[in-house]
Amino acid sequence: MVSRIIKLLFPEKCLICGGVTLEDIPLCANCIDKFFGLFYEDCPACGQPRDDCACACGGGGFLFYFSSPASKACIARVKRSLTKEAAAFMAELVCGSLSGRKSFDLVAYPPRSKKNVSKYGFDQAKEIAEHIAKNLGIKTTSAIKRRKGKTEQKLLSASQRRKNALGLFYADEKELGGVSSVLLFDDIYTTGATIKACEASLRRAGVKQVKTFTLAYTPRKLKRRNKNKKAVPGAAKMTGRVFRYSPGG
């Protein structure tokens, strides 16, 4: 009853267009096919089907490529207006997509900056990580910490991001309590600087196995093309725009 009233007062919004959703799923009738179609998109960088893509670097898992307008709209909503229902929905998709090793001791995430937590009212990676952990029957850890006074990743270039991220995050060994395997979750892989720095911090703190997973993934080749500023036939729509988009950390 109470949840029904809450739903009437604060109706769930579609994860892509913000419209009225279908029952029990944070997507509207118009966007549902678009959303699940994201899972089957060819790689926007090399044009290969996802299973044959040679760009997917870093060995991490992800739900969809960060390229199409629908994928960008979805990540923007995850960052700006993620609801508990949407977090649970995303977590279920993540758990269903985990391949290979599926048993972990803890789920970790890069903490959102304090500034953005107070701006948006939540930490999107933490929210989704908590639902993932619940589904897997384990706990989350806030062992990854963000150092104060460091520049926000989104304000930097790719090479600056890598340098900055290494100093930005560290893992608290005590909080990890000597666990050996951690699932590291983040909402988006842009340059990979954040997730790689967090993975390194966990390894420095003694975690032997770290599996990384993001909702969206920006393939590497696309970035190189953008850097060289060479026109890519048929890809005019995505070059540049992909990288100028800097979701809030």
Q: Nearer to Zn ion by C-beta: 38 or 43?
A: 43
The tokens for 66 are 């960060």
Q: Nearer to Zn ion by C-beta: 140 or 190?
A: 190
CA distance 190 to 125: 14
CA distance 99 to 81: 29
Question: By CB under 5 A, is residue 98 in contact with Zn ion?
Answer: no
Q: Nearer to Zn ion by C-beta: 28 or 165?
A: 28
Of 106-114, 142-150, 161-169, 213-221, the segment contacting Zn ion by CB under 5 A is 213-221
Q: Quote the DSSP letter at residue 177.
A: T
Instruction: Scan for tokens 């850097």, then name that residue.
Output: 227
Question: By CB under 5 A, is residue 16 in contact with Zn ion?
Answer: yes
Q: Nearer to Zn ion by C-beta: 102 or 241?
A: 241
CA distance 130 to 212: 15
Question: By CB under 5 A, is residue 136 in contact with Zn ion?
Answer: no
Instruction: Scan for tokens 């279908």, then name that residue.
Output: 22
Q: How many CB atoms lie within 10 A of CB 104?
A: 22
Contacting Zn ion within 29-58 (CB under 5 A) = 31, 43, 45-46, 53, 55
CA atoms 22, 27, 30, 34: torsion sign = negative
Least distance to Zn ion, CB of residue 22, Å: 9
Contacts with Zn ion by CB under 5 A lie at 14, 16-17, 19, 28, 31, 43, 45-46, 53, 55, 219
